Structure 1
């Protein structure tokens, strides 16, 4: 019987994995749910079929290991996440896990000087508890105990959900890895953006993951009758927010940052009442941490001036922050050499504007990422799509990267 092509197998498995969903007619798979258990059971089966030793860790991540008969180095970890956003696509996170399993299957008869682990992180998206990167945080030793108290929409705490899942909340993170036992972390992921498609490239080498800050702003003015208060006497909170939002866009165009205002609410929200209060969010990102810091300070100052000029009060609350994380230069170089070999063209480098498990794994080891082209850059959406040929290129690159690391790290 002819062996199934690796890329074709991964595409088929992606479809099969998408069936483990709490959503009728779509894909939603959240942390510590029945669908999480079903998906990881299936991944465990595929890992075993690839010749890997398997286990579930203290936080519900699924692991598979290609055992080295004589390991002389720390363990290489390859991974991504298996959970999804609500109404998701099939490839965000999951593709990287399946590529890792299939790469080790292809290398089943190759002796390596180190163990290689592939991991399906159980939660990266934060869909259930609104706390992201739970799986990788546990592995990297930075799981926050306070997360155990966080509740989902049904008022179930994470600790209670862990116990119901068959895990012990008091043991979460007890099996964390450390720098001494970890050689490096590799992650292959769909780009979630349009750059590779625009350049007609199957894959690209990631230079780093942008840092991010998120804020909520509350502007207060004075509500009033829409027909009786003259325009030049108003304290219109929504007009103030509109000017601020345009200032944010203008600032991003002129500086090395990406900004998004994704939510805006108005009170009292009536057609014939001047808005007395407006709230909006700001997401600001940069690959360079110092630029992120300075840009945030400058933008907050600009917004304050707009509020003062319009006789509005403005309050800001920081909701989230993540440090910019560079990918290891040596791993970037190795990825680039592999990409050039497998594609016959020089590697293209690009940054990640989205967060990934790799940004947490940098707490314990060097990280290296490879992006795979996705159609029109669409992600976190049912229309998320990849080309089978591109998956084949990514698989060949990952296999080549493992072999190259086996050679380079034993020199």
Structure 2
């Protein structure tokens, strides 16, 4: 199972599957695959096939997740949940999310091919939505399993005015049955996700994998700046109520505050101008503000400072400013027993794996409400993610798959001791 030929085979198979999944994308740079899109529908076919090859039975659930279960899970035995998300940001990479779907399926298939049967239930989930790119409502699939999905979010609409509920129904889901997807905590061993690091730490350490200790807290706001439109040539500069100039000042002030605050990061990632005409003073600007910190107090204080500063800037220019909290998730810790189990698997495979914090949010933020979570990071080139050039190397694909195989085969005794 651990000879170099097998390792190379595992890596080649995994990289080929990731390439195959990446072909299901909107035209343009990188990978763009949105929740309940044609591309989402298309990528489920190869994923379902990978599940069957791993000895799992695939099923599309009411929330748009594709779930593969082994025989023990289908019989109601206590189950380990593995997986990640299939969706991407606009013009993203081929590994963010999809690695955590394809890699555990590859590991399970390799164990099956060597005659190893795991003594517990296994589910691998390709979560429908984690990024929130289409509906600005993240962790839809993982919240459904955790039993924390808010049915009010079904009213969220995309840029074309399609609601989340409408999109799910057209996709083959069943919005009203989402509450029935909630797993019973006593039926779950834990949740483990494999993910690219999305940062430079592993590359700086020259390590293929890392064991995650906690996931960052995140909040997102929708900001709306309203001014007054006017002719760009005939309206004097003094006294203009230019919403874009005001919004630009707010963006710069937020950036200044973020840079001056330790353990606090954020971004204005989306900005819309109305009427967006070359010779008209902007009347309205909508922009997003995302804030992250492992320390809730730092994030809450930073948010207050930024929002207060934005209000002062708006008043100084005669603008109206409104803000709406659209998403919030507190930082969560990984379970110590899963951290240690992943560390032991790394050690057994000869892979140094220091503990590390995740500055990104993942499906574990939602799954933590259901069960213990664990996470294995895989090195990515230049620490780059959410970008067409996002990349991992074949050797690291080998190593991470081998680590997860070791983790799975040695989890049985730990799982029984926790029953």
Gap change, CA 1:282 and 1:57, over 3 Å in 2: closer
- Which residue of the other structure, out of 51, 57, 66, is the alignment partner of 2:61? 57
What are the residue-to-residue correspondences of 1:121-160 with 2, within 5 Å? 121-160=127-166
Residues 154-233 of structure 1 aligned to structure 2 (within 5 Å): 154-218=160-224
Equivalent of residue 42 in structure 1, options 20, 43, 46: 46
Identify which of 381, 384, 388 aligns with 1:382.
Answer: 388
Residue in 1 aligned with 2:124?
118
2:107 counterpart SS class: helix
Task: Give the TM-score normalised by the residue count of structure 2.
Answer: 0.83
The residue that corresponds to 1:321 in the other structure is: 328
Distance in 2 separating the partners of 1:83 and 1:270: 33
Are residues 305 and 196 of structure 1, via their aligned partners in 2, closer, same or farther at CA, if it must alter by over 3 Å? Answer: same
Structure 1 pair 389–219 and aligned structure 2 pair: CA distance change class (3 A): same
1:244 & 1:29 partners in 2: Cα distance? Answer: 31
Q: What TM-score comes out, normalization by structure 1 length?
A: 0.85
Deviations 1:247-292, CA, capped at 9 Å, x for gaps:
4333323322112233456788899998887665422110122221
- Give the direction of change, closer, same or farther, for the CA distance of 1:33–1:216 in structure 2 (3 Å limit): closer
Which of the residues 270, 273, 294 maps onto 1:287?
A: 294
Alignment length (residue pairs): 410
User: Structure 1 residues 86 and 341 mapped into 2: Cα distance closer, same or farther (>3 Å)?
Assistant: same
What do the CA deviations read for 1:323-368 (whole angstroms, capped 9, x no partner)?
22222222222222322332443x2222222221111111110111
Change (3 A) 1:244 1:21: closer
Indicate yes or no: 2:37 matched with 1:33: yes
Residue segments in structure 1 that go unaligned for 5+ positions in a row: none
Question: Does structure 2 conserve the Cα–Cα contact (< 8 Å) formed by 1:72 and 1:113?
Answer: no
For residue 9 of structure 1, the aligned residue among 1, 10, 13 is 13
Write the distance in 2 (CA, Å) between the matches of 1:408 and 1:58.
32
Q: Is the 8 A contact 2:18 2:94 kept in 1?
A: yes
Sort the Cα spacing of 1:142 and 1:25 in 2 relative to 1 into closer, same or farther, 3 A: same
1:373 aligned residue: 379
1:18 corresponds to: 22
Q: CA RMSD in A?
A: 3.6
Q: Which residue of 2 aligns with 1:257?
A: 264
Q: 1:241 to 1:153 in 2, by over 3 A?
A: closer
Task: Tell me how far apart the structure 2 counterparts of residues 20 and 226 of structure 1 sit (CA, whole Å).
Answer: 44
Q: Deviation per CA, 1:189-216: give whole Å up to 9, x if none.
A: 1112222223322111122221122234
Distance 2:243 2:37 in 1: 42
Alignment of 1:77 onto 2:67: no
Question: Residue 298 of structure 1 aligns with which residue?
Answer: 305
**Structure-2 change in CA distance of 1:251 and 1:204 (3 Å):** same
Instruction: Give the counterpart of 2:107 among 91, 103, 108.
Output: 103
Alignment partners' CA distance in 2, 1:148 and 1:373: 36
Aligned residue number for residue 330 of structure 1 = 337
Distance 1:344 1:160 in 2: 46
Question: How far apart, in 2, do the equivalents of 1:159 and 1:278 lie?
Answer: 28
2:82–2:193 CA contact under 8 A, matched in 1: yes
SS at match of 2:416: coil
Query: Structure 2 vs 1, CA of residues 111 and 44 (structure 1 numbering), >3 Å: closer, same or farther?
Result: same
What SS does the aligned partner of 1:284 have?
strand
1:5 is paired with a residue of what secondary structure?
Answer: helix
